[in-house]
Amino acid sequence: MGTNRTLVTIAVLLGTFLAALDSTIISTAMPTIIGRLGGMSLFSWVFSIYLLTGAVTTPICGKLADLYGRRRVFAWGAGIFILGSALCGMSQNMIQLIIFRALQGLGSGAVLPITITIIGDIFTLEERARMQGLFSSVWGISAIIGPALGGIIVDFLDWRWIFYINLPIGLVSIGMLLLFLKEEKIARRPRVDYAGAAALATGITLLLLALLQGGAAFPWDSPYILGLLALSGLALAVFYHIESRVPEPMLPLSLFSEKIIGLSLLANFLAGAVMIGANTYVPMFVQGVMGGSAVNAGAALAPMSIGWPLGSTICGRLLLRVGYKKMTVLGMAFQVLSTVMLLTLGPATGQLFVSATSFVMGLGLGFCTTALIVMVQSTVEWNRRGIATAAVQFMRTLGSTCGVAVSAVVLNNVLLRAAASYGLEAFSISTVNKLMDPVQRHLISPEQLFNLKNALAAAIHSTFWLLMITALAGLITSFLLPRLVAQKESNC
């Protein structure tokens, strides 16, 4: 009996939903978790360690899927995710929770790229493009319901169940995939590039640690951050040396030299930077400058989670008729338009306009990311599809991380200068914190409140200018893509 595509799709949808949900469901539960476990100073690592370990393992697991097959690596990845979930639920302190969240992230780094690779394997090009819309919808749904579901679980059960809920669903996902996905046995014995994998994991980990902590926990010019960057550069240089010499490289350098793939990776990097910039600074603008609440800030971003799957679905239906390049250009053009709309935001801007801006950005992301991933999958053979798909996913994550790091530096520098220009000599970050909090905002005098809002608006607008430049770079990159016609193909 061959592969049952319907049941395999359900299996990988469940896995994707769990991995995506766990990046959002914990947000509303964190205040309760801090109250029970303590560790207020460490709580940010509960979020960042999950993203970091997931990013590190993404390219490695993509390559392993090419060497050993999708079923085995997905099952192992989902199994590690489930184990991490169970241990998170049993955590007795914040340190334990952070360690087990890291384990969860390791599993998610296998689940997400291999899910997309499996879809590339079992569906034709026309179907594959449409399926990307379905999987983008999973991300959109998880972003919307995750915080709400986390709040319900905390209120009516216990915070530990936000992790325990993963166990039965994850086991069903693994079981269905093992039963209903059939793969040909690999004739030759795989040769794993262990040295390359270790060097890559070390280099990426050190780089992401530096980007996540630079300008926040430590100054950018501190010995700690400079040391992390130097060691990261050394590890990546060792990785390059290894990959250029081994017969089965963990991340084939030829991927980056191929025009279609290289430009697609660059475009995804830039799209990731624009996306995270909007996610980070639009809520800050709504609360700090427009005087809205946390609910208003969330409502301003929610349409992005609607626009993305909608854009992905439309792209899937038009891709064969329009072609990869035109759909990518259209998506990047929407991103540029959304950043221009961001630059028009002011204290008196209505909530509806901010939501419309988020929707336009989501629509653009849906168009370009779907076209790029399907194009990459369609231009590589089966035994490189896993690593190529994982590389695309990883570059978007790396773009987001770099985007946050660079924009934070710009924001802080402009904010300090703007505060000085408005005569806020006693300015401090704690004052901005009061501005963000509707409860404490009334403690600020009307004159200082006016000046603070203007200073913060100037600082956030500087990041919006940076986003527009990045979006324009993405648009230019999309114009450089070759005109590759999407043609119908049979099942892989």
Those residues whose C-beta lies under 8 Å from the C-beta of residue 230, and which sit 6 or more positions away, are: none
Domain endpoint, select from 152, 182, 212: 182
When pLDDT is averaged across residues 309-320 and rounded to a whole number, the result is: 82
- Does residue 19 sit in the same domain as residue 158? yes
- Say how many domains are in the chain: 3
Alpha-carbon distance 21 to 129, whole Å?
Answer: 23
| Residue 58 included in any domain | yes
Domain endpoint, select from 127, 157, 182: 182
pLDDT value of residue 231: 94
Pair 346, 299: CB distance under 8 Å: no
- Does residue 225 sit in the same domain as residue 330? no
**Does the pLDDT at position 225 exceed 80?**
yes
| Residue 188 included in any domain | no
Decide: helix, strand or coil at residue 63.
helix
**Does the pLDDT at position 412 exceed 80?**
no
Domain endpoint, select from 182, 213, 228: 182
CA distances, 30 to each of 27, 35, 86, 147 (Å): 6, 8, 17, 10
- Does residue 279 sit in the same domain as residue 170? no
pLDDT band at 341 (very low <50, low <70, confident <90, very high): very high
| Residue 112 included in any domain | yes
When pLDDT is averaged across residues 472-480 and rounded to a whole number, the result is: 94
When pLDDT is averaged across residues 384-402 and rounded to a whole number, the result is: 83
* pLDDT, tens digit (0-9, with 9 covering 90-100), for 260-314: 888 998 999 999 889 888 877 888 888 878 877 767 777 787 788 788 888 888 8
- Does residue 148 sit in the same domain as residue 134? yes
Give the type of residue at 413.
N
- Does residue 116 sit in the same domain as residue 200? no
Percent share of the chain, pLDDT over 70: 88
- Does residue 325 sit in the same domain as residue 340? yes
| Residue 243 included in any domain | yes
- Does residue 318 sit in the same domain as residue 442? yes
- Does residue 202 sit in the same domain as residue 260? no
* Structural domain of 384: 254-492
- Does residue 278 sit in the same domain as residue 224? no
What pTM, to 2 d.p., does this model score?
0.80
CA distances, 77 to each of 58, 65, 247, 268 (Å): 10, 11, 26, 24
